[in-house]
Amino acid sequence: MDDEWEVPDALQPNPADYGFDLHRRLDAVVALKGLIPHDAFTAQTLGVEREGSAVLIDGKGLFLTIGYLITEAETIWLTGNNGRVVQGHALAVDAETGFGVVQALGKLDGIEPIELGDSRSLKLGDTMIVGASGGQGHAVAARVAARQPFAGYWEYILEEAIFSAPAHPHWGGAACIGMDGRLLGIGSLILQQGAPGGKRLDLNMVVPIQELTPILPALLRQGRSDRPPVPWLGLLAVEEEEGVSVGSVTRGAPAEQAGVRPKDRILSVGGEPVSDLATLWRAVRAQGNAGVPVALQLERGTRVLKLTLMSSERRLFLKAPRLH
């Protein structure tokens, strides 16, 4: 992450507005760099060098981040605001929620963990801090702009995501901190939304911490959730005015094997009509767990096709992290 950038003063949180030591809280947010092999499954889509932030959540060097930063990472570096650098190990990535967990392999002195809070209490208009590594100058005093479902083109859906504004320019892995000083979520994306007068409003999508608390013990114990894996098709979907189309298919994945092609329009899943990304992914998951057959009705030019995909589990296509 570029050390020279700074959030404009007018958007930074004022330490006097909080009943906790803002600087000490933000020191728990460190820089993360993940190095991924060139032959990794996600190398082409996410790159081989990924940078963002991670948040210390316990006294034993456990850091929480957004999963795409460390997916298939062979090497991870954590850098504190004091400049100290230690190596980390990817303990777990949960594709369903989007969280990633890293164990520091050395000690970053002088920082204290942030306690996990209750993201269910966040309401429209509530204030919070979205902070990346680098302290107050890299933090935004934000508000909750929405609490609503979010569906991503990569077979991802959250039923109650947090949307915050103004948007943080370095959102990946940023800490969402509540007015009580506790961690309420982790920054995932930046999105644009239309605003009155034809203006554009930039928002961050934050994964709520309540998505983590039920699965954290299993992530630490075995590197993945205890929940049955959801069915994965291996396609990227595009939401358009006329419906949902296939943007691309992954080589060797169920979609390619069944004959799905880019530009196919997805009409239904298991007989349920599909109108947007959210209904698409909900319908796929409603078929059962990973490995279940998924019946698609597709429109290809003037033809209507029916294909059955034998779904798989996403993690089976990924390189497992290695402990150095």
Sign of CA dihedral 119, 125, 128, 131: positive
Last residue in a domain, options 222, 246, 275: 222
Q: What is the pLDDT of residue 323?
A: 54
Please report, as a single letter, which amino acid is at residue 301.
Answer: G
Whether residue 10 is contained in a domain is answered as: no
What is the full DSSP assignment across 242-259? TEEEEEEE-TTSHHHHHT
For residue 54, which of 134, 174, 139 has the smallest C-alpha distance? 174
d(CA 121, CA 130): 17
Contact 207, 97 (CB under 8 A): yes
Q: What residues in the chain have per-residue pLDDT under 70? A: 1-4, 194-198, 321-324
Whether residue 227 is contained in a domain is answered as: no
Whether residue 1 is contained in a domain is answered as: no
d(CA 64, CA 101): 5
211-249 tens-digit pLDDT: 999 999 999 999 999 999 999 999 999 999 989 999 999
Residue entry with tokens 């996990």 = 116
| CATH number, domain containing residue 62 | 2.40.10.10
Last residue in a domain, options 189, 222, 255: 222
Please report, as a single letter, which amino acid is at residue 286.
Answer: A
Q: What is the pLDDT of residue 55?
A: 98
Whether residue 51 is contained in a domain is answered as: yes
d(CA 85, CA 323): 18
Q: Is the pTM of this model over 0.75?
A: yes
Whether residue 246 is contained in a domain is answered as: yes
Please report, as a single letter, which amino acid is at residue 31.
Answer: A
Q: What is the pLDDT of residue 321?
A: 63
| CATH number, domain containing residue 275 | 2.30.42.10
* Token digits of residue 54: 């991670």
Q: What is the pLDDT of residue 320?
A: 74
Q: What is the pLDDT of residue 134?
A: 96
Q: What is the pLDDT of residue 322?
A: 61
Domain shared by 74 and 135, yes or no: no
Stated as kind and residue range, the H or E segment containing 279 is: helix 277-285
Domain shared by 104 and 124, yes or no: no
Domain shared by 105 and 139, yes or no: no
Structural domain for 189, as ranges: 119-211
How many domains would you assign to the chain?
3
d(CA 56, CA 24): 12
Sign of CA dihedral 250, 311, 282, 158: negative
Relative to beta strand 29-35, strand 75-79 is: antiparallel
Please name every residue paired with 35 in a beta bridge, in sequence order, or none if there are none: 49, 75
Domain shared by 268 and 310, yes or no: yes
Contact 305, 298 (CB under 8 A): yes
d(CA 107, CA 115): 19
Whether residue 102 is contained in a domain is answered as: yes
Whether residue 206 is contained in a domain is answered as: yes
Domain shared by 243 and 307, yes or no: yes
Domain shared by 204 and 130, yes or no: yes
Report the share of the chain in percent with pLDDT over 90: 92
Whether residue 8 is contained in a domain is answered as: no
Domain shared by 125 and 204, yes or no: yes
166-210 tens-digit pLDDT: 999 999 999 999 999 999 999 999 998 766 666 788 999 999 999
